[in-house]
Chains A and B, each alone.
Chain A
Amino acid sequence: MDFLSFIIICVKVLLVFAGTLLAVLIMVYAERRVSAFMQGRLGPNRVGPQGLLQPIADGIKFLMKEDIIPDGVNKPIYLLAPVIMLIPALMTFAVIPFGSTITLFDREIILQIADVNIGILYILALTSIGVYGIVLAGWASNSKYTLIGGLRSSAQLISYELALGLSVVSIILMSGSLRLNDIVADQQGYLLSWYVFKQPLAFLIFLIATYAETNRLPFDLTEAEQELVGGYHTEYSSMKFAMFFMSEYANMITAAALTVTLFFGGWDVPLLDEKSLGMWGVILSVLSFILKMGFFLFLFIWVRWTLPRFRYDQLMKLGWKVLLPLSLINIFITAGYLTLTALK
């Protein structure tokens, strides 16, 4: 690797990192504002124009707050847990392609940090590590609410990760590759080549499972304010709480980006050949990616104010008795169809 490509990678990492953090800030603001709008309120609109600087004010508040470490916690694990959750949350975005290729300095630059050939596996593995943060935080805090929250999240993730992984398997069968770039390339062309239209059932299962994965309503049993105070982060304050907060939003952003990449053609603009348009094609592709992602982020909040929380047994029933068999059937049908068409 020469010096120039090293610089290019550094720039890409910085861009994606800054972009993710910015998206987290926007999401924190949007969450409150959209929630308010759906309840007929106005939400924060005082700090800056339209209240846009509210997340910065919140961030300063988190930094200035007293950092309480309660008695009786397991200190090393208590301190480590937020980090374990935040780092994988920020790392997952590394393999997601967010635009087509730019030609700069006589080289083709892919708009993606790392073109890993097992991109999907990488994401699934990292999101599973994030759960350790929740479970360890719940256990190390030495409090009943956090422990119940942590245990619930581990049980929930086991039951939904299966359905999530299996719904992705049907996509992998279609594209024949675990590399996210290949999956995006396979969805190029006209609108119906997006995988939502070819795999609607897999999309539905994937969408429901991501809500469970990111601990969002209707599956937010890990924090369930009404019964568990704050769930796994009850005993955390100040910046350590902010880290949990940030990683939750970063997880949502990755989940939205992954949904777009797997089912909505990634950065693909339908009926348009981005590569022939040069620079404009690149800008359009990034814009379309951001737009699609924005819709799914909005959907997270939208669903939050539409559906009530599931009871715990209902959650387990849905995961094991509905989503898992459905995704298996879906794989069976997809595989059968692919074999039959290959035989001809």
Chain B
Amino acid sequence: MATIIKSYEPTFWDKLYIPALVKGLMVTLKHFFRKKVTIQYPDEYHIPPEGYRGLHRLNKFPEGGIKCVACEMCSAACPADCIHITPGPSPSAEGKERYPVQFDIDLLRCIFCGFCEMACPEEAIELTEIYDFSDYTREDLIIDKDGLLEVFELTKDQKYYSRKNYTQESKA
């Protein structure tokens, strides 16, 4: 079936270009008064959506014991090979027999794919919403067990950045 395509014939007004020009100016003027999208970073923080894959943490039980059993599933799953675990017998009598003596993550190698948290059978390792953890040396960017547990304390209420925004506001 043949379709007839009507070509658009510009009218006299179209050829003047002035109405189109005014229309364009109105568009930019509308944008002038629009809400600005800028987040003024050190003063206010972007709150990442749920499921954001940022800095890692090691979860703890409510009673305080570490969830990790040092099975090394995460380091096996890690495509960047950045998790290094030294297992050892658990010192506490909380039921777990193994626990990590050492748990280092090389953040410079990590690609934040989240495979480690998927591989973990104990839901011990998890990626958090923290995105600003830059540092000055390569050594400082290897996070150890204590560091990972500290991240857990900071992020367990899932409100790391909204809390920061709130303190910034109360300061101002």
A contact set with B: CB distance below 8 Å: 34, 37-42, 204, 302-303, 305-307
Give the shortest distance, in Å, between B19 (CB) and chain A (any CB): 13
A40 touches B34 (CB 8 A): yes
Contact of A305 with B38 in the complex, beta carbons under 8 Å: no
A40 to B32, CA, bound (A): 7
> Which residues of B are in contact with A by a Cβ distance under 8 Å?
18, 21, 24-25, 27-29, 31-32, 34-38, 40
- Which residues from A are CB-within-8-Å of B27? 306
Cross-chain pairs A/B with CB under 8 angstroms, 27 sampled: A34-B32, A37-B31, A37-B32, A37-B36, A38-B28, A38-B31, A39-B31, A40-B34, A40-B35, A40-B37, A41-B37, A41-B38, A42-B36, A42-B38, A42-B40, A204-B18, A302-B28, A302-B29, A302-B32, A303-B25, A305-B28, A306-B21, A306-B24, A306-B25, A306-B28, A307-B21, A307-B24
Q: Which of chain B's residues have a CB closer than 8 A to the CB of A40? A: 31, 34-38
Inter-chain CA distance A41–B38, complex, in Å, is: 6
- Which A residue sits closest to B38, measured CB to CB? A42
CB-based contact B31/A302 at 8 Å: no
Cα distance A307–B18 in the bound complex, in angstroms: 12
Residues in B whose Cβ lies below 8 Å from that of A37: 31-32, 36
Q: What A residues does B37 contact at CB under 8 A? A: 40-41
Chain B residues with CB under 8 Å of A204's CB are 18
What are the residues of chain A within 8 A of B24 when measuring CB–CB?
A: 306-307
Chain B, Cβ-Cβ closest to A299? B25
A39 to B35, CA, bound (A): 10
- Sorted nearest first, the 8 A-B pairs with minimum C-beta distance are A42-B38, A306-B24, A306-B28, A40-B37, A37-B32, A38-B32, A38-B31, A38-B28
Query: Known contacts A39-B31, A42-B36; can you find 16 more A-B pairs with CB under 8 A?
Result: A34-B32, A37-B31, A37-B32, A38-B28, A40-B36, A40-B37, A41-B38, A302-B25, A302-B32, A305-B28, A306-B21, A306-B25, A306-B27, A306-B28, A307-B21, A307-B24
Chain B residue at smallest Cβ distance from A45: B40
- Complex Cα distance, B32 from A39, in Å, reads 7
Assembled-state Cα–Cα distance A306/B28 (Å): 6
Q: Kindly provide the distance from the CB of B92 to the nearest chain A CB, expressed in whole angstroms.
A: 52
- In the complex, what residues of B have CB within 8 A of residue A303's CB? 25
A100 to B36, CA, bound (A): 41
Give B32 Cβ to nearest chain A Cβ, in Å: 5
Closest B residue to A39 using CB positions: B31
Residue of A nearest to B33 (CB): A37
A42: chain B residues within 8 A (beta carbon) = 36, 38, 40
Least CB distance, A315 to chain B, in whole angstroms = 14
A341–B36 CA distance with the chains assembled, in angstroms: 55
Residues of A within 8 A of B29 (CB): 302
Q: Which residues of A are found within 8 Å of B25, using beta-carbon distances? A: 302-303, 306
Residues on A with beta carbons closer than 8 Å to the beta carbon of B21:
306-307
A39 to B24, CA, bound (A): 14
With a cutoff of 8 Å between Cβ atoms, the chain B residues found around residue A34 in the complex are: 32
Task: Give CA–CA (A223, B76) in the complex, Å.
Answer: 57
Smallest beta-carbon distance A329→chain B, Å: 15
Q: In whole angstroms, what is the CA distance A307 to B17 when docked?
A: 12
Q: Please indicate which of the listed interface residues A34, A303, A306 has the most CB atoms of chain B within 10 Å of its own CB.
A: A306
Chain A residue contacts of B34, Cβ below 8 A? 40
